[in-house]
Each structure stands twice: as structure tokens, then as C-alpha cells.
């Protein structure tokens, strides 16, 4: 079922619970409780998340210790966020500097105990023969370009998940969900995302920076996870430059490598299915989808989307 003939190479549900706890403990760059103060305000009921009503007059983030952003993995991550066109259908022009920024981000995250722990696990399961092979595949699956529009190389997994997309209301329709992947032109992220709404955009750092600039308006939340420290999980509603996100899930206070590593683990182990993990003794599930219209290497899939499944 996992694509391997030997049962010892299969990634079991128990394996995922154990390795996710190890990654959780290895997130040494996460925010401390004193580094972030959030103000969740109004909790929306299921029938209120789609009404686009701002029930929280204050910003979500009351305070963030921006010294976090001087840490190497944070700094290299933030540099990637301005490399993308916000609207689908516009060809991405990847400069030499942007390629260097991708390589630097991968270099910095691979220095962390968390990503070394992830590689060791995947190496033990015969997914990768060397760390060099692992890094090369990370670059392709996350940063490789594919078309969500009319043939333009306009998107990547990293952009969709961490930076986000807005589809203008005059283009296309709702995406169709398909087992194991997304159909071309789809916008699936926590349900079908119809035209004129935000696609992807699950990262707390990106949200904080845009909220600080006045480009994101927090409306409400529908889920606040049980964690009493960081990383935590929040399901939220917001608008971004006039585009609405009905239910967006986000880790709060995790390091870039933590989110990047968990999504990678689940994409490799459970693409197109719920990936059940354990963080600090609490259950959590992640859903990833592969982009199936185009491939790289020997038929490998790019990441289409990845996000936390919130109740």
C-alpha cells in the first residue's frame, strides 16, 4: 500500500506517531510563550465561517518578538516570501538570487536537529540513500514550478502553502477534489475554494507580517488547539487584500523547519490522505495533496497543498 515490497520499509501509523513526537521535541527554534501574544477574540460557529463578517475588531497578533526572525531558518524563510506573484495565471520569473535563497533556506533547515531527525527516519525507511539526495528532492517537490492557470509556470508547493494565492473573481471556477491529488486549476485547501477567495496561506509568520502591514484583516477563529505552549494550532477566518479565507488552519509559534518538516513527512508517507500525528501527547492530523498534472524526475509529484486538519 505504501509502494514498497518490503514490509520493513513501510511507514506505519505507529511510526508516524513516534517520529512526529521526536520532531516536536526537536523544534528548538520554536517561539517561547513570552515571544508571542495572540488575541483570538470571537469564536465562529460552523455556520458563521462563510458569512465574511468581521467579528474581531482587534488584530490577531498583539505582540511578536521579532528577534525570532534573526534566527537563520526564520531569516532565510522570510526572504522567500516576496518571491511570488500573488495571483494565479502569471508566470513566475525565478531569478538567480531567488534560486540562491531557496538553496540557503534548505541549507539552514538541514542544519537543525529536527530536519536531521526527519532525514534519519526517511533514510531508515529506504526513501533516500543520502542527505544530498533528500535535499535535492525537497527542492523539486517544494520549489519546482507547475501551472495552476492556463499553462504558465505560475505556482509551486512552497508558494501555495506558505505564501498563499488569490484567485481573481473573474477567473475559473471551484476546484474538484480527487483522491491523491488535485485536478488542474483547482484550489483545494480545507474544502473547495471558490473564485475570489484565498488559496493556501497557512503560515503564521506570513500572516503576522501582512497583518502588521495592514494587508490582512483577522475576522474570527473556529478552532483553538489544546496546546498550552508553542507550537499551537488555530483555525481562522480572515481577508487578505480583499480576498476571503473561510477556514484557514495554521501552526502558531513553530519554527519554519517544523512546519516544513511535518508537511514533508506527511506528503511522503500519506499523500492524499489524513496523516495522523502526535505532538506533545495530543493528536493532530495533516492533509497533503500531490499535483498530478505534471511530474519531475522519475514520475515524482510536486506538492499541491498541505495543511493541518482542524475540527
Give catalytic residue positions. Answer: 160, 202, 245
| Of 124, 136, 130, the residue nearest 269 (C-alpha) | 124
| Of 257, 272, 258, the residue nearest 303 (C-alpha) | 272
Amino acid at each position: 500500500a505504501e509502494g514498497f515490497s518490503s514490509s520493513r520499509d513501510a511507514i506505519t501509523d505507529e511510526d508516524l506517531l513516534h517520529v512526529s513526537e521526536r520532531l516536536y521535541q526537536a523544534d528548538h527554534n520554536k517561539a517561547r510563550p513570552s515571544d508571542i501574544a495572540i488575541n483570538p477574540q470571537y469564536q465562529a460557529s460552523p455556520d458563521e465561517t462563510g458569512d465574511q463578517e468581521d467579528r474581531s475588531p482587534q488584530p490577531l497578533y498583539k505582540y511578536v518578538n521579532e528577534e525570532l526572525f534573526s534566527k537563520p531558518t526564520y531569516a532565510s524563510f522570510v526572504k522567500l516570501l516576496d518571491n511570488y506573484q500573488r495571483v494565479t495565471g502569471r508566470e513566475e520569473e525565478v531569478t538567480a538570487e531567488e534560486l540562491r535563497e531557496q538553496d540557503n533556506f534548505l541549507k539552514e533547515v538541514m542544519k537543525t536537529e529536527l530536519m536531521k531527525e526527519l532525514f534519519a527516519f526517511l533514510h531508515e525507511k529506504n526513501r533516500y540513500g543520502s542527505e544530498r539526495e533528500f535535499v535535492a528532492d525537497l527542492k523539486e517537490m517544494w520549489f519546482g514550478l507547475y501551472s495552476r492557470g492556463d499553462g504558465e509556470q505560475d505556482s509551486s508547493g512552497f508558494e501555495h502553502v506558505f505564501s498563499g494565492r488569490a484567485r481573481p473573481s473573474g477567473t475559473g471556477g471551484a476546484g474538484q477534489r480527487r483522491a491523491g491529488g488535485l485536478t488542474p486549476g483547482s484550489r483545494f485547501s480545507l474544502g473547495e475554494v471558490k473564485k475570489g477567495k484565498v488559496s493556501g496561506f497557512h503560515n503564521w509568520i506570513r500572516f503576522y507580517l501582512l497583518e502588521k502591514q495592514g494587508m490582512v484583516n483577522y475576522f474570527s477563529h473556529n478552532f483553538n488547539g489544546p496546546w498550552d505552549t508553542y507550537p499551537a494550532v488555530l483555525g481562522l477566518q480572515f481577508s487578505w487584500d480583499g480576498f476571503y479565507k473561510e477556514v484557514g488552519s495554521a501552526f502558531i509559534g513553530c519554527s519554519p523547519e517544523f512546519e516544513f518538516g511535518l508537511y514533508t513527512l506527511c506528503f511522503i508517507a500519506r499523500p492524499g490522505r489524513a496523516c495522523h500525528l502526535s505532538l506533545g501527547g495530543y493528536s493532530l492530523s495533516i492533509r497533503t495533496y500531490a499535483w498530478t498534472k505534471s511530474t519531475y524526475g522519475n514520475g515524482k509529484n510536486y506538492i499541491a497543498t498541505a495543511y493541518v486538519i482542524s475540527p
